Amino acid sequence: MNLETLPLQLRNAIVDLFPPALQWFVHHLLTITVILTVFGLFFAFTTIAERKLLARLQNRLGPNRAGLPWFPKLKLWGITQPFADAIKAITKEDIVPAAADKVLHFLAPVLIVAFSLLGFAVLPFGRNLIPVELDAALLYFFAAGAATELAIFMAGWGSRNKYSLLAAMRALAQLISYELPLILSVVPVVMVCGTLSTKAIAAAQGGWTFGLLPHWHVFTPWGFAAFIIFLIATLAESNRSPFDLPEAESELIAGHLTEYSGFKYALFFMAEYFGLTALSGLGVTLFLGGWQAPCEFLQFIPSYLWFMIKLVGMIVFFIWVRGTLLRLRIDQLTRLSWKFLVPLALLNLGNGAFWALTPDWTGPLVLARWAISAAIVVVPFVLLGRRLTAGQAPRSYRYA
């Protein structure tokens, strides 16, 4: 029994039960079901993990009361909380404002979940696990991901609420600003690997130096820079703190979600996490070696588990950021993108090109390659950063 190929064997066993004419259908249905189940559960436990982790960051306990029905003594540290939340969300009254555009108001949560799920189709979850093998997987991923902002705008417009409308405007501004650095940060990877296929990119990051240092993209200067830009853009694309402007609680009540309640609200919530998970999955694939193990001797752990561990790591990092940072203002948000991230990403593009052109530098030239590549990243970072924060510094004060 090989753990690595176990999911495939299971799938094949089930598919073989059906007549050959139906097998392709069952095959895909099974894949979709597995993705929905695994990531549905992943979403459920991400919500509780987020609440628990945030609570711990804030020196609280977090939700710990939801147990099992009929066993009131059994608290289980509250891990059944998401199911209780789901029941609550389903049983809550669905309120549609009288003035709302009913069709858009209804379509928005449906579409946002649909769009945010599309990205999962091209993520290589394991050595042999990829739902759809597309040559232009990256293009497909970004096309599908960008559509979610459209749904947010639908929600904001359809609610007929001033706060929602403001949030919708912000969401669009944010989308336009951050789509660019997000894609630009990915291009060096494509250049270096020479492919748009996520499977090939993940495979390209295989191998270790001395069996310990993995050849992940994040451990190169251009890759590191691209990863940071990717992280920031991911935060912005998935509307998470510090870029949670569309649902800025302290300013716009709940932004585009103001007029949503019950299950529709839960759907938005779900879509947000799906989007975050998908983008994190892409980040793992592109920069953190995908399903590759970090050390040679750790290869006995199945590749799909490595993928999930890295994914969880990304999510935890996002939660940590959310627990620490404050929100940018909309003009600062766009300024950060256009005046900082986009130029850096463009320079990094050149950096990627340089790296792609110099794979045959050996001996002392390796050091030069690294130094040049690092300089291309660090110098503009410092200079642009200084310009971005000009005139802003902690002050000293006098006393009377």
Partner 1 sequence: MRAVHDEFHGDLLEVSMGPQHPSTHGVFRMVVTLDGEQIVKLKPVFGYLHRNHEKIAESTSYLSSMPYTDRLDYLCSMSNNWAYALAVEKLGGLTVPDRAQYLRVIMAELTRLVNHSCLVGFLFNDLGTSFTPLLYAFREREKILDLFESLSGSRMMCNYQRFGGCRVDPPPAWLAAASALVDNFPRFLDEYETMLTGNEIMLARTQGIGPMGAAQAINAGITGPCLRATGVDYDLRKVDAYGFYPRFNFRVPLGAHGDTYDRYMMRILEMRESVKILQQAFRELPAGPIMDPKAKLRGFRPKVGEAYGRLEGPKGELGFYLISDGSTNPWRYRVRPPSLINLTLLEELCLGRTIADAVVILGSIDIVLGEVDR
Partner 2 sequence: MLGSGILKGLAVTAKNFVGSYHNPARMVTQEYPDVQPQLPANYRNFPFLVTENATDPMGTMRCVACQICEKECPPQCIYIEKSKDKKPDANGKLQLYPAVFDIDTAVCMSCQLCVEVCPFDAIKMDHVFAIAATNRFSGLLLNREELAKPNTYFHEIRPDEAAEVDGRLAAERAAAEEKAKAAAAAKATAATATKPATGGAAAP
- Chosen residue from 8, 30, 32, 54 binding partner 1 by CB under 8 A: 54
Does the protein bind partner 2 through residue 389 (CB under 8 A)?
A: yes
CA dist., res. 53 & res. 59, Å (int) = 10
CA 136 from chain center: how many Å?
19
CA dihedral 56, 60, 61, 66 (to 10 degrees): -110
CA dist., res. 247 & res. 254, Å (int) = 5
Quote the least distance from Cβ 165 to partner 2, whole Å. Answer: 31
Site for partner 2 in 343-382 (CB under 8 A): 381-382
CA dist., res. 63 & res. 88, Å (int) = 15
Nearest CA-CA partner of 229 in 130, 67, 340, 118: 340
Pairing of strands 208-209, 213-214: antiparallel
State the DSSP code for 301. Answer: S
The residues, any chain, with a CB within 8 Å of residue 388's CB and separated by 6 or more, are: 335, 336, 339, 340
Does the protein bind partner 1 through residue 278 (CB under 8 A)?
A: no
Q: How far is CA 2 from CA 10, 91, 126, 202, 301, in A?
A: 11, 44, 14, 21, 11
Nearer to partner 1, 129 or 328 (CB): 328
Does the protein bind partner 1 through residue 399 (CB under 8 A)?
A: yes
Contact 102, 264 (CB under 8 A): no
Candidates 34-42, 100-108, 257-265, 315-323: pick the segment binding partner 2 (CB under 8 A). Answer: 315-323
Angle at 124 between CA 216 and CA 288, to 5 degrees: 20
Quote the least distance from Cβ 135 to partner 1, whole Å. Answer: 40
- Chosen residue from 13, 21, 99, 400 binding partner 1 by CB under 8 A: 400
Residue 251 binds: one of partner 1, partner 2, none (C-beta under 5 to 8 A by kind): partner 1
Candidates 151-159, 261-269, 316-324, 349-357: pick the segment binding partner 2 (CB under 8 A). Answer: 316-324
- Chosen residue from 262, 294, 323, 343 binding partner 2 by CB under 8 A: 323
- Chosen residue from 320, 329, 339, 375 binding partner 2 by CB under 8 A: 320
CA dist., res. 51 & res. 62, Å (int) = 6
- Chosen residue from 60, 102, 162, 339 binding partner 2 by CB under 8 A: 60
Using CB under 8 A, count the residues that bind partner 1. 41
Quote the least distance from Cβ 259 to partner 1, whole Å. Answer: 14
Site for partner 1 in 140-169 (CB under 8 A): 162-163, 165-166, 169
Candidates 19-27, 49-57, 168-176, 186-194: pick the segment binding partner 2 (CB under 8 A). Answer: 49-57
Nearer to partner 2, 97 or 323 (CB): 323
Omega before residue 242 within 30° of 0, cis: yes
Site for partner 1 in 314-333 (CB under 8 A): 322-332
Nearer to partner 1, 328 or 347 (CB): 328
245-281 burial by CB neighbour count: b if 16+ within 10 A, else e?
bbbbeeebbbbbbbbbeebbbbbbbbbbbbbbbbbbb
Q: Mark residues 369-398: x for contact with partner 1 by CB under 8 A, - for none.
A: --------------------x-xxxxx-xx
Contact 255, 163 (CB under 8 A): yes
Binding footprint of partner 1 on the chain (CB under 8 A): 54, 57-60, 162-163, 165-166, 169-170, 241-242, 244, 248-253, 322-332, 389, 391-395, 397-400
Binding footprint of partner 2 on the chain (CB under 8 A): 53, 56-61, 64, 320-321, 323-325, 381-382, 385-386, 388-389
